Structure 1
Amino acid sequence: MSERNVNVGIVQMSCTKNSEENLIKAIEKVREAAGKGAQIVCLQELFRSLYFCDVEDYDNFKLAEPIPGPSTEALGKLAGELGVVIVASLFEKRAEGLYHNTTAVLDADGSYLGKYRKMHIPDDPGYYEKFYFTPGDTGYRIFDTKFAKIGVLICWDQWYPEAARITTLKGAEMLFYPTAIGWHRSQDDPTNNEQYQAWQTIQRSHSVANGIPVISVNRVGAEGEMNFWGGSFVTNSFGRILYQASHTDEEVHVESLSMTKSNEYRTHWPFLRDRRIDSYDPITKRFLDEDESR
Structure 2
Amino acid sequence: MKELKVGVLQQHNTSDIADNKRRLAEGVRALAADGAQLVVLQELHNSLYFCQVEDVDNFDLAEPIPGPSTEYFGQLARELGVVIVTSLFERRAPGLYHNTAVVIERDGSIAGTYRKMHIPDDPAYYEKFYFTPGDMGFHPIDTSVGRLGVMVCWDQWYPEGARLMALQGAELLIYPTAIGYAASDSADEQQRQREAWTTVQRGHAVANGLPVVAVNRVGFEPDPSGQTPGIEFWGSTFVAGPQGELLYRAPADGEERRIVDLDLGHSEQVRRWWPFLRDRRIDEYGDITRRYIDR
Normalised-by-shorter TM-score class: over 0.9
What's the counterpart of residue 226 of structure 2?
none
1:233 aligns with 2:238: yes
Amino acid paired to 1:33: L
Q: Secondary structure at the match of 1:252?
A: strand
Q: What is the identity percentage for the equivalent residue pairs of Structure 1 and Structure 2?
A: 56
Q: Give the drift of 1:263.
A: 0.7
What's the counterpart of residue 46 of structure 1?
44
Inter-partner Cα distance in structure 2 for 1:145 and 1:91: 22
Equivalenced residues, count: 288
Q: Secondary structure at the match of 1:273?
A: helix
What's the counterpart of residue 26 of structure 2?
28
1:194-250 Cα distance to aligned partner (Å, 9 max, x none): 001100000000000000100000000101211000000001111100000000110
Inter-partner Cα distance in structure 2 for 1:126 and 1:211: 34
Q: Give the drift of 1:186.
A: 3.1
Q: Give the drift of 1:259.
A: 1.0
What's the counterpart of residue 126 of structure 1?
124
1:104 aligns with 2:63: no
1:264 aligns with 2:269: yes
Tell me, which stretches of 5 or more residues in structure 2 are unaligned?
A: 223-229
Amino acid paired to 2:122: D
Inter-partner Cα distance in structure 2 for 1:22 and 1:283: 41
What's the counterpart of residue 73 of structure 1?
71
Inter-partner Cα distance in structure 2 for 1:243 and 1:71: 29
Q: Which moved more, 1:186-195 or 1:131-140?
A: 186-195
What's the counterpart of residue 260 of structure 2?
255
2:199 alignment partner, one of 191, 198, 201? 201
Amino acid paired to 2:276: F
Q: Give the drift of 1:184.
A: 1.7
Amino acid paired to 1:149: R
Q: Give the drift of 1:187.
A: 2.5
Inter-partner Cα distance in structure 2 for 1:215 and 1:125: 27
Q: Secondary structure at the match of 1:136?
A: coil
Inter-partner Cα distance in structure 2 for 1:169 and 1:109: 28
Q: Secondary structure at the match of 1:272?
A: helix
Q: TM-score, normalised by structure 2?
A: 0.96
Tell me, which stretches of 5 or more residues in structure 1 are unaligned?
A: none
* Runs of 4+ displaced beyond 3 Å: none
